[in-house]
Structure 1
Amino acid sequence: MLLQVQNLRTFYKNAAIIDDINFHVKKGEIFSIVGESGSGKTLTGLSIINLLPDYFRVTGRLIFKNTDILALDSSQIRKIRGKEISCIFQDPMVSLNPVLKAGYQVAEMFIYHFNMSEKEAIKRTEQIFNELKIAHIINNYPHQLSGGMRQRVMIAMAIACEPELIIADEPTTALDVTVQEEILDLLYFLIKEKEKAMILITHDMNILGEYADRMMVMYAGRIMEMGDVEEIFKNPLHPYTRALLDCMPVEGKKIEGIPGSVPDLKNLPQGCVFYPRCKYKGKECRVEPPSLREVAPGHLVRCFLH
């Protein structure tokens, strides 16, 4: 097992905004976290790589290659971050250094983690930029690039050291549809052919069906459903999962949408967190939160209906 997340809880001012998160990721696997904006997907990813501000507190165990990375200090985690676990951030404009050229920002990865000379690092960076078809922007600054090009630079940084695990937070949001497929195919090749792993954070259910192996549906910082993508697509059990799948465009079918909005993670409703928006709610849903149960091998759901 490459990564085991055990009882992960992320606190903000004593409020558990991410609660009771348990999952694992194997080598060669693409594990996806899906849900609406505000569901806690990005917070979960940032909790894993210790990139949250100091006013957040993370508890639990994060076992990466037999080491609890949550117990490491900042200097130790920096040696892992980028080299063994990397991240593709959602907003490349605020993630890239505005005063450094795009190529040099990738080259820094080789200089820091492999003690390469600047000349060697630039040469390796040129190879990666060629693979991503962005060789012509190697000497450009971030403000000179389009959103799609900036995102490709972020992806270049993420794959530079061929890390064991990539946390990809909406990696193709800023890209055109045709380019999205190229980038996802490239990441898919890296994961499958080189026995790496990826946590894919997204709200695009179509991407899941094509690229992910297993998925975790999050809502209000909690796991609603988890299992194989194919199984959940065929047999979604949680009302929230069904609602997300119903939002996928299908020819001849009207998209209903989900009424209401995701609650404030710091002020959750009593009982089931999805209760206010659920079509199938019962009296017990308002009183106490349901527990996460395994209803079939590898298929877990948090709902009183199952």
Structure 2
Amino acid sequence: MPTFTDPQGVRIHYQHWRVPEPVAVVQLVHGVGEHIGRYGALVEALNAAGYSVWADDHRGHGQTGFEQHGGDLDRMGRLGPGGLRAAIHDVHLFTGVIRETEGDGVPLVLLGHSWGSLMAQILLERHPHDWDAVVLTGTAYRTPIHMNSGDLNRRHRHLGTTGLEWLSRDPAVAEAFVADPYTTAVPLQQLFGLIEAARLLGRPGRGLPEELPLLIMVGSDDALGGEKSALKLANAYASRGGLADVTLTVYDGARHEIFNETNQEEVRGDLVRWLDERFAVD
């Protein structure tokens, strides 16, 4: 797996799945406690539709975290020196790595899921011209009122015994997460600390590029935010941010990990169609 080294000396591991003459390139930003290996079906679908995909294991996660913590799996998810600010900076550094290889002539799409979508929101405010489209999945409006920072499994705990029933209606998803040595179910606030976790809070910035397309995709039963939070976020990007092309898709009954849901083929299809409408050349 190729790597680049961040300013704190952490080697960030990444992968790429490139196609000849891509329609666009998708930079995938995964969530907390997981890794890019959980996105195989999404990568295959995007490749089949003509999109190259690049994804990194963030500091503290996946192969990056395994090396960073000397193989201590009990420390997975912990970000290390620089904390959240360094993790966000690494995602932006990775954008530069992608641009160096793919060139500036190919559209670059930032796709963030869960924690990755929160970092994507922050990066969009700081570097609004660095991507040609942004996709946020399993996301929320970043205020304590609209984003759940408590027990995400509370309303689903009666459905199983893993403590991860909130992820998907498919029980196999929670079971696989528990069995995966490179994942951790330790809550974000515990992994990062309350001060670091609070750095994720905020609102969409003002004066974003009007022409930048934004897609928000969530399940109606997503414990992190759900439909109301996503609607507030979409409206804020249109009114406060000034974006003219904002799309919100809500999947009835779906939970947090829409790419691992029982209707995941529908979700992948909707994503590809949205991308095609903006980047595909007849």
Specify if TM > 0.5.
no
Larger RCO (CA under 8 A, 6+ residues apart):
1
TM-score (norm 2): 0.29
Higher alpha-carbon Rg: 1
| TM-score after normalising by structure 1 | 0.28
